[in-house]
Chain A
Amino acid sequence: MAAAPAPPADRAALRPLAWACAAFAGGVLLNCDRVPAWTAATALLLIAWRLTTERAGARLPGTVARALLALAVVAGVLWRFHTLNGLAAGTALLMLMSALKLLETRARRDQLVMVGAGLFLLLSACLDRQSLARVPLYALQAWLCCSALAVVASAGFGARAALRLAGRALLLALPLAVALFLFFPRLAGAFWAIQRAGEAQTGLSDTMSPGSIVKLVADYDPAFRVQFAARAPPAEELYWRGPVLHDFDGRTWRRTSGVFHLRQRLQYLGTPYRYRVALEPTRQRWWFALDTPAQSPDTNVLLTYDNQLLGAEPLTEPVSFDVLSYTRTRALEPLGAFGRQQDTTLPPGANPRSLELAQTLRQRAGSDADFVQATLDYLRTGGFVYTLTPQALGADAVDDFLFDTRAGFCGHYASAFVTLMRAASVPARVVTGYLGGEWNPIGGYFVVRQSDAHAWAEVWLQGRGWTRIDPTAVVAPERLRRGVFDLLPDALATRVRLLRGSAWLTGLLQRWDAANAWWSDHVVKFDYSAQLDLLGRFGIRSPDVRYLGWAFVLALLGWLALIAWHVGRSARPAPPDALARAYTRLCHKLGRIGPPRAPHQGPLSFAATVTTHRPDLKDSVYALATGLQRPSAGRRTSRSSGGRLHGWRCPAPSGG
């Protein structure tokens, strides 16, 4: 059963549908990089198709076709996500179902549904990403949707009028929105569990293969920002610990899962560093901290036996935490048998030449510490080259690297070094994380970028415990001093080098980063405790939710009064002009001495009445009445005519 064909529409009639489609398309585009490509493409195609149909006045598909399409869409989403719950799957489904709704969009109500879908997609994008750079996009989409509301409500609006109207209303709404944002009491905790499956993880992963870290090197996005309470450690101590990897299959390092050790008691040496880390969401569980954190910053975060901070849930929102770290420690307990076994295991049969080398070096060295030094010397003098574009490695990756290519970057060196250690039964593990950080003088913090990703080793030395060894630093000491960018091949680094080439651009970038940090700290992470802090800043001693409620109500009422005044001002009639005032005075006076004006009488008719009773007033009354009758009546009279009539007086009755 096909729907009745719509008659071909003219431009003005097409307008509401076009705007509703635009609002929806805006929502689709905002989300297009987080749903499968076919979803967004289907939605955009349907929009284009619907607009062409409307223009041509063609038929819309019938009920059966629509039902089949809807089923296909649900099946498609289920096939891709295996669920309809969750933000990404829900967004994809909303996108497709709304696009199908377009196929039956005829009445105004259907167009409103499309605008609503545009707003919902905007909400979904906000829930997904809150970075400062995307805020202008969100603002544009909100503006577009509000303008579409105006056009759908009344097709007479042109684009410019609708945009102006909506823009004005949004600007007037902004102060209240800010007040509500500050004072609307936030709830702690979620009402229902949230599935965030199917979203891309960013940053370091929990495996390391040859070449895996280099993917991050060209990524200039910040991973986290760090503000030290007092003195910052020297640059060569800025090792930010991420996933610690124990399991090796000859090629790839992995985190051991399902193993739980008690954390060893440690003696902390050297300077304690207090600092605050602001993490960007990674959709992964690790929280980055300087070398060895002394305790967990949060009840939901576990400080593991290998000194990682491991969150209970993947990070989907930015988070800040205060933590205390040391860069030098000494173990107070020996390494347990299980731990020793875990960190000396190598895949059998793999990398035979490396094993042989390790045996030789170990026999020559007096102690484990000497062996470590000998291995580092071997790397330094063996003609090794630091490069971010090494040759591909074979099955015995460590052998290939140590004896054939001799060129690689941090991952290769850490992997090879730990393999050599383990081959000589020295417990060793690979630590991945970040090295260094860029000082931002504007915000007073270090920003650590994805490009600072690094891998190093830790070896267990008798009497000292786990000791950090960075084999890359031996081969390429400049990596520590200058960061990775000078070592990048041109293809990867052109953009970054260009940015960093000019002091002006660098300053600009630092400002932008500081703005981002401010945004993340003060807006994105604004929560109930921040609200209470804010009240405290207004001088309230023991702020609680009641004060928030009061502030909320006061802000709302104050704003409403302001808006009513602002909006109502232009609706009030202009003050009466000289003519109208004179006429009112005349009517008032004649109301007392006669003849009075009948309610239905206009100025000319009243003038006739007056003339019959008071012929002496004829000229002046007619002058007044004809003046009022002119089309310009009601507008402010010009100065001259106002002045001419200013002295008008109703003469006293002449005794009639």
Chain B
Amino acid sequence: MPDRLQSGVDRRRWNPLAPLPALVRARVHDWMRRRQGPDVLPVTLERRRLYILPTGAGAAFGLLLFLMLLAGLNYGNSLALFLTFLLAAFALVAMQQCHRNLLGIAVIAAHAPAVFARTTGAVHLTLANPASLARAQVEAAMPQRAAVAADLPAHERQRLELPLPAPTRGIVRIERLRLATTHPFGLFRAWTWVHTPIEMMIYPRPHGALPMPAHSGHKSGARPRGGSDADEWLGLRPFRDGDSPRQVDWKAYAREAPLLVKEYRPAGSELHLFDFAQLTDPDTEARLSQLARWVLEAEAHGERYGVALPGVLLPPDRGPEHRHRCLAALAVFGTDDGARHGGGAGASG
């Protein structure tokens, strides 16, 4: 329920280990990682992976209590001492409540959908509260990023979007996520790290004014599966207003799948091959942007297209998966990831 989401961008970044030198911090993280082991989602937050320390306010509260204790003892004043003890016990209760605000939460899923460069992507994090206790103000954050807070009512799931800027194409990797809370009194902060690798693919920015190259004349070899002879089966897409009920895939709906619409296209559409080598712009990024734009255009027109990069050839096809393959190839082209994926070997030729 997005209305429960609060963007906590104004919160200062908080890192319990910030004042320590980077080396020590890294070692502490290594230690945490070793003792927690690798995480395979879903992960339930157990006692042994929750850490808790007083916040600045908590430390100040402790100092206040110490002064109150001194005053109470000095004056031999029973009521002042009782007040001090009451507040001290209150702080301990607050500690327990803070700890249990995270305890038992399940991290169901964490992934980052691909986005285009120069936009802002997001890590989608699904948290579940399997207990009968409502959780409030659970903050999730990536390292060195502002936290996003959400409330988790009892027995409910909640999807959080952690904004992640996508400045340039490539793959952004997030090693771990932090879940933290200072609920209910802000005196303590409980936190945990979930070491789940997340990759966000950043496609090149679609840009460029060149017209799509004319179809290369190849005829499609693959025969469409299903559908009538004349129409070509394109696949399923979510129902939109105005779709004919005849097109709805009622069988799937009966299996409690979402409402889907079968899509057909007239046969005999065009075939493109977008070739990196045929572009003349000296700037690699500009060429990739142009290719990305063509891919989007061709996909929008329902045409079949392929991408040729130095060392990579994606034969013509269509559909969301093909689109992703093409854009991903453009995204990692010339990067270490590209080399690892067996893609293009370095610079363009």
Contacts and interface: CB of A to CB of B under 8 A. Distances in A.
Contacts, number: 180
B86 A120 contact: no
Given A149-B186, A169-B185, A173-B89, A112 B57 contact: yes
A69 interface: no
A116 interface: yes
A138 interface: yes
Nearest to B40: A599
B89 A574 contact: no
A480 interface: no
Interface size class of B (residues with CB under 8 A): 35 or more
A634 B83 CA distance: 43
A563 B92 contact: yes
A130 B86 contact: no
B137 A123 contact: no
Given A122-B83, A169-B97, A190-B75, A149 B131 contact: no
Contact of B255 (A180, A525, A559, A622): A622
Contacts of A568: 96, 100, 103
B185 A146 contact: yes
A127 B185 contact: no
Contacts of A629: 256
Given A150-B185, A177-B86, A181-B85, A130 B79 contact: yes
B75 A176 contact: no
A173 B86 contact: yes
Contacts of A154: 136-137, 182-184, 186
A563 B131 contact: no
Interface residues of A, number: 64
A573 interface: yes
A187 B137 contact: no
A635 interface: yes
Q: Which of A559, A560, A572 has the most CB of B within 10 A?
A: A572
A560 B92 contact: yes
Interface string A184-203: 10111011101000000000
Contacts of B71: 123, 127
A174 B82 CA distance: 10
A170 B93 CA distance: 8
A571 B75 contact: no
B87 interface: yes
A126 B186 contact: no
A190 B79 contact: no
Contacts of A188: 76
Interface in A589-610: 599-600
A572 B131 contact: yes
A19 B85 CA distance: 23
Interface of B: 6, 40-41, 44, 56-57, 60-61, 64, 68, 70-90, 92-94, 96-97, 99-101, 103-104, 106, 128, 130-133, 136-137, 155, 157, 182-187, 255-256
15 contacts: A153-B185, A156-B136, A166-B185, A173-B87, A173-B90, A177-B86, A181-B78, A181-B81, A181-B85, A188-B76, A190-B74, A190-B75, A194-B74, A573-B44, A634-B157
Interface of A: 109, 112, 116, 119-120, 122-123, 126-127, 130, 135, 138, 142, 146, 149-150, 152-154, 156, 165-166, 169-170, 172-177, 180-181, 184, 186-188, 190-192, 194, 317, 523-527, 559-560, 563-564, 567-568, 570-574, 599-600, 622, 626, 629, 634-635
